[in-house]
Chains A and B, each alone.
Chain A
Amino acid sequence: MQSLFGRSLHIRTIDTGSCAVCESEIRLLAAPHYDLHRLGFFFTPSPRHADLLLVTGPAVRAFDQAVKKTYLAMPEPKIVVAVGACPLGGVYSEDAFVHGSLEEVLPVDVFIPGCPPSPLALLQGLLVAVGRLAEKVDALSFVDDEAGTGEW
């Protein structure tokens, strides 16, 4: 896993209706106290470069399209980390505005509970997510089974 990602894992963040506090904690991940770069994590402004999608908020229905487009734009293997109580359904119950749980929209790999989860909790969640990513990488086949003729 380390050799595959070369201690360089890129994170894209997306807000699906948070109260702005989770965003504040995510911004602090890059601050001197936590400095996620030392662990090989980096933020990226493009989903095309992202390995990990960090999602906050209760999955507002009006935002579905943007969430799906962001997820689809990410290359495989990719993981989704849900931040806070909102995507767990702990703040808003399901109704006409929100899905209630992020799992209705995206395949969530890791939930980080807390309202908001502190930056240390976020770091721990990210490290757990790296383990999940490693599993996904192991399961990935690098041989094109369909072609199978060795022509390319």
Chain B
Amino acid sequence: MSREIEASRYRANDGVEYLRVGMAEVEGVVEDMTKAGTRLADLFGSMEDEELVIRLVYGREPEPSYAVVQWPVRGGGYPPLSEVAPAAFVEECEIYEQFGLKCSGAKGLNRLVVPPHAAPDFPRLAHRPGRQAPPPHAPHYVTGEAIEFPVGPVRGVGQESLYMGLVTSGEELIDLYLMVWHKHRGIERRLQQLRPQQALFLVERAEGLSAVGNSWAFCRAVESITDVMVPEAVERTRAVALEFERIYNHAASLAALCQATSLTVGQAQAEVALEELLRLNAAAFGHRYLFGVLAPGGVTRGPDVGVIRERFTMAVDELRRVAAALRSTNSFMDRVEVCGVVSIDDARRLGLVGPVARGSGQDLDTRRDHPYGAYRDCRVEVPVRTAGDCLARMEVILAEVETSAALVTELVQAGLRAGSVDLPPAAGAALGWCESPRGESLVWVSLDREGRIRRARLRPASARNWRAFDDAARSRNVFTDIPIIEASFWLTVAGFAR
């Protein structure tokens, strides 16, 4: 690494290291990072003083730090990073759509959130001055014996809108591609100019099933900028809410797995557990999906500890009973085993996070690797499986329910409190992170001098993990395996399309 790059390194107070580089050095830095096995966590652009700045976020596990590499774009392009680091491809498409900037080299980019029928004035995060972004394209040909079987965008009961193009020669799946632009609500664009307190409402609703995870990451970024210390008992309250969210999501994933394998009895039992957990959320925190619990600087309300003591173990026991019954049901186990395999190599290459990554041998968990809030004082067990199939992911989430249950007991004993610290006006930018039920959620926030959001980048775990879905679906599966794989990934389209 050149001397100039070394000189531009500095460590912010939140443990994130910033590297400012020039266009010419970017490729070298990315190559070095990829060779060293550093995990690429995110890539995004933002307009700053009429100039596009691109940032790469690296997670340097096992070292407890993130590295943010940033460079200003001058001239019309940047090196094709995804050729070195495949984990960057989706974000390259995103930068093309939102900022009209294409990496050099003539690779086809995929359509993400801009609809094919969008007018040229379709709102994006920014246009490069004097240039209209041409519509992105995804050349897609199905030839020979294969046909494309369209599913969606309107799908079954209680399923999010999603278009799946299933390419098949009959029964076996040859290829699969996804279209998510039906659900793009432009949340990152809406967040601009809002105050963090107002913005939280939308951050929670970017992906409702990870409301606590995403909003905690957002709050951490804001608290880091304003240099606010949240009291420990309040941080514990946040952690309890997050573990509640994890447990109910895992119960929902289990119910969906049963539904996908047509195991109605198992589904009904898992749904009983899920409903009990949601009611517990409502009784303890006042909302079934824990909306409005977190606030920048603290939490808005403390949980009813009596209710947690009385009902928490009972609700989790219900889930344990379902899990035990499923493990001894051979017809169920046969369906999830060797189904939807994500190889260890692919999981690393694509930079996956959460239970999907942990089911494919990636020993990652921000609660342990980048301890924050109450997790600084807790030991977090991270279950890892290596098979990479639906069964491995199911084993991971079931083991995580146990860790979460132990954490909740520990946190409740240590004492919980509600309350929040007022945010002083401050300008700056910072990264926030949190282990949502679906994995690492990253939020990068930049505030202007009036304390309004200049740019908020939300990167829920769903935005990361969908890219492995086609690989998992292709691995010698048939049509009926697709819902099973989807249930075991348990991602949201809302988080991806934002």
Chain A residues within 8 Å of B, Cβ to Cβ? 11, 13-28, 30-33, 43, 45, 57-58, 60, 62-63, 66, 70, 91-92, 95-98, 115-116, 118
Flag if A31 contacts B289 (CB, 8 Å): no
Chain B residues within 8 Å of A58, by CB: 185
Asked whether any CB of chain A lies closer than 8 Å to the CB of B231, the reply is no
Flag if B493 contacts A20 (CB, 8 Å): yes
What are 26 sample pairs from A and B whose C-beta atoms fall under 8 A apart? A14-B154, A15-B154, A17-B161, A17-B184, A19-B204, A19-B205, A19-B492, A20-B493, A21-B209, A23-B158, A27-B255, A28-B271, A28-B275, A28-B278, A31-B274, A31-B275, A33-B271, A33-B275, A58-B185, A60-B182, A60-B184, A62-B118, A66-B182, A95-B186, A97-B184, A116-B208
Chain B residues within 8 Å of A, Cβ to Cβ? 115, 117-118, 121-123, 153-154, 156-161, 181-186, 190, 201-202, 204-209, 211, 252, 255, 268, 271-272, 274-275, 278, 288-289, 291, 492-495
Chain B residues within 8 Å of A43, by CB: 157
Chain A residues within 8 Å of B208, by CB: 18-22, 24, 116
Bound: A80/B204 CA distance, A: 27
Instruction: Pick the 9 closest A-B CB pairs, nearest first.
Output: A21-B208, A19-B208, A31-B271, A27-B158, A62-B115, A26-B158, A43-B157, A20-B492, A97-B186
Flag if A19 contacts B207 (CB, 8 Å): yes
- Quick one: which of B182, B209, B271 contacts A17, CB cutoff 8 A? B182
Flag if A66 contacts B160 (CB, 8 Å): no
Bound: A24/B275 CA distance, A: 10
Flag if B156 contacts A45 (CB, 8 Å): yes
Flag if A66 contacts B185 (CB, 8 Å): no
- Quick one: which of B153, B157, B494 contacts A19, CB cutoff 8 A? B494
Given A58-B185, A63-B161, A66-B153, 8 extra CB contacts under 8 A: A17-B183, A19-B205, A24-B209, A27-B255, A28-B271, A31-B255, A63-B153, A97-B184
Flag if A66 contacts B161 (CB, 8 Å): yes
- Quick one: which of B121, B202, B289 contacts A116, CB cutoff 8 A? B289
Flag if A27 contacts B157 (CB, 8 Å): yes
Bound: A141/B175 CA distance, A: 50
Bound: A13/B288 CA distance, A: 21
Chain A residues within 8 Å of B492, by CB: 19-20
Q: A16, A43, A97: which has the most chain B beta carbons within 10 Å? A: A97
- Quick one: which of B123, B182, B206, B272 contacts A32, CB cutoff 8 A? B272
Chain B residues within 8 Å of A92, by CB: 185, 190
Chain A residues within 8 Å of B255, by CB: 27, 31
Q: B156, B182, B186, B492: which has the most chain A beta carbons within 10 Å? A: B182
Flag if A60 contacts B209 (CB, 8 Å): no
Chain A residues within 8 Å of B495, by CB: 20
- Quick one: which of A11, A24, A70 contacts B252, CB cutoff 8 A? A24
Chain B residues within 8 Å of A118, by CB: 288
Q: B123, B255, B268, B289: which has the most chain A beta carbons within 10 Å? A: B289
Shortest CB distance A39–B (Å): 16
Bound: A33/B270 CA distance, A: 12
Flag if A14 contacts B494 (CB, 8 Å): no
Flag if B184 contacts A91 (CB, 8 Å): no
Bound: A63/B322 CA distance, A: 38
Chain B residues within 8 Å of A60, by CB: 182-185
Bound: A21/B495 CA distance, A: 12
Chain B residues within 8 Å of A70, by CB: 154
Chain A residue at minimum C-beta to C-beta distance from B119: A96
Chain A residues within 8 Å of B201, by CB: 91
Chain B residues within 8 Å of A20, by CB: 160, 207-209, 492-495
Flag if B274 contacts A97 (CB, 8 Å): no
Bound: A61/B154 CA distance, A: 15
Bound: A25/B252 CA distance, A: 11
Bound: A27/B255 CA distance, A: 10
Chain A residues within 8 Å of B117, by CB: 62
Flag if B288 contacts A31 (CB, 8 Å): no
Flag if A16 contacts B161 (CB, 8 Å): yes
Shortest CB distance B178–A (Å): 15
Q: A26, A27, A95: which has the most chain B beta carbons within 10 Å? A: A27
Chain B residues within 8 Å of A16, by CB: 161
Q: A17, A24, A96, A118: which has the most chain B beta carbons within 10 Å? A: A24
Flag if A116 contacts B288 (CB, 8 Å): yes
- Quick one: which of B182, B185, B272 contacts A31, CB cutoff 8 A? B272
Chain B residue at minimum C-beta to C-beta distance from A23: B158
Contact A62-B206, Cβ < 8 Å, known A19-B494, A27-B158, A31-B268: no
- Quick one: which of B159, B182, B272, B288 contacts A62, CB cutoff 8 A? B182
Chain B residues within 8 Å of A95, by CB: 123, 186, 190
- Quick one: which of A32, A57, A66 contacts B271, CB cutoff 8 A? A32
Flag if A15 contacts B161 (CB, 8 Å): yes
Chain A residue at minimum C-beta to C-beta distance from B497: A17
Chain B residues within 8 Å of A96, by CB: 121-123, 186
